[in-house]
Every structure is written in structure tokens, then in C-alpha cells.
Amino acid sequence: MARARLPDSLAFWPRRLLLLLALALPLLVPPAVEANHEEAMQALRLRDYDRAYQLLLKAARGGHLEAAYQLAALYRAGRGTRRDDAKAVYWYRKAAEQGHAKAQYALGVMYETGRGVARDPATARRWFERAAKQGHRKARKKLAGAGAPAGSGSGGGDGAQLVRAAIKGDAERVGRWLDAGAPVDAKDKNGATALIRAAMLGHDSVVRLLLQRGAEVDVRDAIGDTALLKASAAGHEKVVASLLRAGAKVNVRDAAGNTPLMVATRAGEQAVVERLLRHRAIEVNARNRKGRGALDIARSAGYKGIEKRLLAAGAVAALARKERSDARLRQLDKVAAQRAGSDMPLLVEAAWRGQKDVVRGLLARGTDVTVRDSAGYTALARAAWGGHEEIVQLLVGAGASVTTLSGDDEPPLLLAAREGHERVVRQLLLAGARDRADRSGVSALGYAMREGHDGIVRLLLKHGASLDSVGTEEALRWATRAGDVAAARRLVAKGACVDCTDKSGRSALWYAVDTGNLALARLYLDRTHNIDQADKDGFSALHRAALRGHEQLVRLLLARGADPERLAVGNNTPLMLAAREGHRAVVALLAVGAAGLDRKNDPGNTALMQAAANGHQDVVELLIERGANPGLRNVRRQTAEDLARAAGHQTLAAYIADRRKVLRW
């Protein structure tokens, strides 16, 4: 695209002033264009992608940079319109050339991955540089290399959310986070990308989506494993096939020198073994650091079927057992000598990487279990942190203390609890570990509550951890989520604040209502000073009760004075939420008085429209009986009848049409 030439009359202006002027002009958009953008963003929050697309297209054509960026994201994801990477590039470029940092980064990604435009790493880098100059964090990480170091996570909040969605196997949410700009190769605190997590758990649809969106197929986590190694060990044959089609290195090795073929053999996953053997580049006689090949592993485990397949593929046995053992010990001695005085002693590194056989060999040679790495962590601390149960057992058996502090005064129990390693927590508790706080004052119990590891919380409490060791408000919210009425009563008696909220703005009452706990709701209602307190999305306790269909709680909240007209995200009332979900009994409690029956939310839908769109005939009948107007239209000029018909609820649509005639609406 040709760069516009400034008039000669402006040639004397300072370059910086001209740049500021060029950047400011696109912001001076007409009020109608800005209104279109604001409505579009609201539609996006409500996942009304069709309406969002139409509004963003108008705003983008009117010169709104953020609208152009968001429109490109819709084209890229195929939401509200058909997927069109070329149009995504077009609108990203429109915004990027006028200084929109996010668009500059996104355009760089398109050039980097070859989506909608010929792959051009040099051009991609130029766009990343332009975004980085404006302080764009992800662009700076792109330019810096592989992003944040393992252990610290990368990609910020969006990257963390992307990895969580991949763990859950939620392909739709993964796509949304990618569309929102989450870096596809963002890492969690263990150095694992979304691709690695999805591959390990067998979420093939997520794996394929991430690969399509440019995920690095051979990236490694903190212990050196790739997605293919994880999927092979877990027996996910479909995922293995997807990764190989994407060009994953079939002979990649883990920290112990094992290939995917070896780890699949060790796990007894014959289908994966057969899939790997079909790859033309497979090295069937590769050896790990212990000198063992896949055939040796299959024979020692008694996997006759796998052994037969390996032999047919040309596998041969490795060294005799004694020769292998001697070679391994000599190698251990050599490596240990080389690593003496290093930042991470070999025992600590092997424990951190989960190399059980190396740890066992070092302990057999009398290696000191108290050695620490440069960060102050012992081998036991690293093993607990990584969740390596068998290594924890080996180290404890060799005399490692379960109470020794590492790093920021962190005992092994705290590290395991914080990361959610329940089996390791149980093992350490049985070995005599007791809960204590780290330097920041947070205990293992506190971390487990904060991270939502409810099984570990119960385990710690069973072994003597006290709720008094954590903040009373945090303990109260956990007791509420867990339904522990007795613990909640004790905490309230000690003065726990029932109106205090967590980072999402949710109070103890909010959680009690959301989980349907009538006893706890009564306890908190007797003490709350704000029955209508809302979370960050505007949901009050009554909203949650209506959404969940908790009839008794809705009745109780209304009796205590909760506001039934309060608006949540999207300007939805409790009645609208109950109608949308089809909770007739709750609708009957809320649909009283004509004032709120026909209230509309941001897309212009009433409670009746939402019930109709979701096919809830009994709710529709009740609302019309109570006086709801079936002739009203939303912002897209649709009636309740139109919405029902569009959703395939023809019988319901006919009923609404009949009632309109009878009632003459």
C-alpha cells in the first residue's frame, strides 16, 4: 500500500508533531461511529457475534481503529461471518498503519504464520518492532525470543487463560482467547504451552486448533518434554497422529534420552507404538542414556504384542543388563564430577526433571540429599514442586527432611500444595510434614484454597492444618464453596467478614447462593449489610440464584429485600436469566407486576424472548399469562415468535403467534 505524501506546506513541521497528529486524527470519529463500536463491544461480551460483526463493520468503515482491529479478529476466527484470513489481514493493516499497537502485533503474527498473506518473517519482525516501540509486551517477547523463562509463565493473563482452556479441552474457549490476542505459545509456570497440556490430556480438537493457529509443535516444557512425548506416554494415538502430520520430530528425546517410541512402549500403548512405527523417519533402534532401546523396554515389561511389532520393524536388543548397569554408573560418576559446584547439582536437577533412575543411582552412590541449587532448593523441594511422587519417596527414604525450608522459606509440603500435587501432599504428610507459612505469610492451606485445590485443603485439614492459619475471609469463602456449615459458623463467630469479596468481587453469600446452600445463605443474610452486592460482572446473589434455578433461595432473598430489578452484565435482570435457563418455578416468583416483565437487555431481548429462543414452552406460557407482551421487538427487529422459529422451535412459535392474535398485541 503506497504511503500518503504530506503536503509541502507541512514539510517544516517537526516530525514528532506530525506523527502525533497522524495518530490523533483517527481518534476523531463521529459520535455515531463511536456508538456503533460501543454497541459492538457489548454484543461481543454477550457472544452475539452476528450483531457484533455488523456493528464493527460500520464502525471500521467509519475510521474507528479499535473496531477495525476487532473486525479483523472476527474474520480470523469466522465468528459472525465466514472465516476470511485475507480480510483479517486487510483490517489489521488498516489499524496497524495508523498506529494501533495490537493490530501491529496481530499483523505480524499473520505474516509470521502465513495466514491470509504470504509468509514473510522479515515483514513480521518489522510489525513486531513497531508494536514493541509502543510498549506492546507480547511483541517485545516475540523480539526477545522464546518469551518468559520456564517457571515464571509467559503470555500474561491471556496466556494463562489460554493454557487453562486447553487443559479443560474447551476448543471454543481456546479459539476465543487466541482471537483476543493470547500468544499461542504462552507457557504456564511449569514451562508448558497450551499445545503440550492439550496433547498430554488427549484433547485432539484443541491440539488441531492450536496447530492451525501456528503453535510451535516441538517446543519443550521445563523438564524438556514436547507435546509428542507427552501424548505418546499418555497413549493418545489421535493426538500423536495430528502432531506427526504437523511435522513433529518423531525421534525427539526427553531429558533421559527417551524417544516417543520408548515412552509409548514403557506405557504399554501399542496403538501409539504402531502409529509411530509407520513414520518413515522412525529410528527403531535408538538408545536412551541408559543404553536401552524400545525393544529392551518392551521385553522387560513383558509387552509381547509390542515386542512382536518392534521385531518386525527391525529392532535389536541393546547391551546385556550388567554391561548396561556398569555403563550407567560410570556415566553417572562422570556427569556428577562435571557438575560439582554448578548452579544446580545433578541430584537436584534429576529430581526436578523427574528422572527417577538417575536419582536412584545417585542415592546408591551416597550423594548428599541436603545439597541445594543456586536458588536454595533441595532435591526434595524440587521433586515436590514438580509432583514427582516416586522421587519424593526415594528421597524421604534416603533421609531427606520433609521440614527443610527452601527458596523463600518454602517447605516441600507448601510447594506440592500450591501446585496441586495431592498424592505428593499425602506422602509428605504421612512422613511427618506439617503446614507452615512461607516468607510472604501464606501457608500450604492458604495456597490450596487460593488455587481451588479442594482435595488438598481437606487433606491438610484432616492432618491438623488450621483454618486460623489463613485469612478468615478466604477461609470462609472456601468453607462456603465446600459446603462446610460447621466451619463457616465457627469462622463467622470469630468475626469473619461476610461482605468481603475475592478478586472476582464474590462474597460468601454469593458462593452460598451459587452452590445452593440454604443454611449458609441464611447464616450470611443475618449478618450482611449489602444483600445486593454484585461481583465484577454485576451478578448479585439473586442473579445467581435465578440463574441456577434455586427456588427456595430466590424466595428467601426476595423476602429479605433483594432487588429483583437489579441489572447484571448485558443489562440482564434475574427474571431474564431464569427465563433463559427455563427455571419455571423461579420465573413464577420473579414475574410479578407488569413493570419488569417487558424490560429489555442490551440486545433488546425481554425475558419472554429469551425463553422463546431457548424453547422453554412452559416459561413462555407463564410469562404471557402474567402479561408479557409477545409483540415486542429487539434491536434486530425480532419478536419472541421470530426467535423461537429461528431456533427451530416451530410448535412454540405457532403458540406465540396464536396468543398474539387472541390478545391482539
Cβ 352 vs Cβ 383: under 8 Å: yes
Res 218: pLDDT: 93
Cβ 444 vs Cβ 435: under 8 Å: yes
Across the range 40-60, mean pLDDT stands at: 82
d(CA 542, CA 597): 17
Least confident segment among 16-20, 143-147, 449-453, 607-611? 16-20
Nearest to 147 by CA among 133, 160, 134, 165: 160
Res 495: pLDDT: 85
Nearest to 590 by CA among 656, 517, 540: 540
Nearest to 407 by CA among 376, 384, 450, 433: 376
Res 588: pLDDT: 95
How many residues are present in the chain? 665
d(CA 626, CA 659): 13
Q: How far is CA 32 from CA 21, 61, 62, 64, 68, in A?
A: 22, 12, 9, 11, 15
The burial class, CB within 10 Å (0-12 / 13-18 / 19+), for 123 is middle
Cβ 171 vs Cβ 187: under 8 Å: no
Q: Mean pLDDT: which of 194-208, 301-315, 321-335, 496-510 is highest?
A: 194-208
d(CA 255, CA 319): 21
Instruction: Report the amino acid identity of residue 662.
Output: V
Model confidence at 569: pLDDT above 60: yes
Q: How confident is the model at residue 232 (pLDDT cuts 50, 70, 90)?
A: very high
Model confidence at 7: pLDDT above 60: no
Say whether domain 8-144 belongs to CATH 2.10.10.90.
Answer: no
Res 1: pLDDT: 39
User: What tens digit of pLDDT does each residue of 73-87 get?
Assistant: 998 888 888 888 889
Across the range 180-202, mean pLDDT stands at: 89
**302-332 exposure pattern, b = at least 16 Cβ within 10 A, e = fewer:** ebeebbebbeebebeebbeeeebeeebeeeb
Instruction: Report the amino acid identity of residue 195.
Output: L
Strand partners, 378: 372
What percentage of the chain carries pLDDT values higher than 90? 44
pTM, entire model: 0.45
Higher pLDDT, 297 or 153: 297
Res 153: pLDDT: 39
Across the range 444-462, mean pLDDT stands at: 84
Q: How far is CA 211 from CA 158, 195, 208, 245, 617, in A?
A: 18, 8, 5, 10, 43
Q: How confident is the model at residue 637 (pLDDT cuts 50, 70, 90)?
A: very high
Q: What are phi and psi of 187, to 5 degrees?
A: -115, 150
What percentage of the chain carries pLDDT values higher than 70? 88
Res 382: pLDDT: 93
Each domain of the chain, given as residue ranges in start order, spans 8-144, 156-321, 323-469, 568-665
Across the range 125-151, mean pLDDT stands at: 72
Cβ 319 vs Cβ 328: under 8 Å: no
Across the range 224-247, mean pLDDT stands at: 93
**What is the domain class of 568-665 according to CATH?**
mainly alpha
The CATH fold of domain 156-321: 1.25.40
Full DSSP string of 616-651: -HHHHHHHHHHT--TT---TTS--HHHHHHHTT-HH
- Please compute Rg for the chain using Cα positions: 30
- The architecture in CATH of the region 323-469 reads Alpha Horseshoe (1.25)
Model confidence at 435: pLDDT above 90: no
Res 160: pLDDT: 84
Res 327: pLDDT: 52
Task: Locate the DSSP E strands across 195-334.
Answer: none
pLDDT averaged over every residue in the chain: 84
Res 329: pLDDT: 54
Q: How confident is the model at residue 155 (pLDDT cuts 50, 70, 90)?
A: very low
Residue 31 Cα to chain centre, angstroms: 37
d(CA 479, CA 280): 56
Res 598: pLDDT: 92
Model confidence at 23: pLDDT above 50: no
Take residue 383 and report the three cell numbers written for it: 521433586
Model confidence at 30: pLDDT above 70: no
- Reduce the DSSP state of residue 599 to 3 states and report it: coil
Across the range 151-161, mean pLDDT stands at: 56
User: What tens digit of pLDDT does each residue of 318-364 get?
Assistant: 654 444 555 555 555 555 555 555 567 889 988 988 888 889 988 98
Q: How far is CA 2 from CA 5, 130, 408, in A?
A: 9, 18, 56
d(CA 560, CA 256): 63
Res 71: pLDDT: 93
Res 219: pLDDT: 93
Res 370: pLDDT: 92
Res 439: pLDDT: 83
Cβ 55 vs Cβ 40: under 8 Å: yes
User: What tens digit of pLDDT does each residue of 377-424 get?
Assistant: 999 999 999 999 999 999 999 999 999 998 778 999 999 999 999 999
Across the range 516-543, mean pLDDT stands at: 93
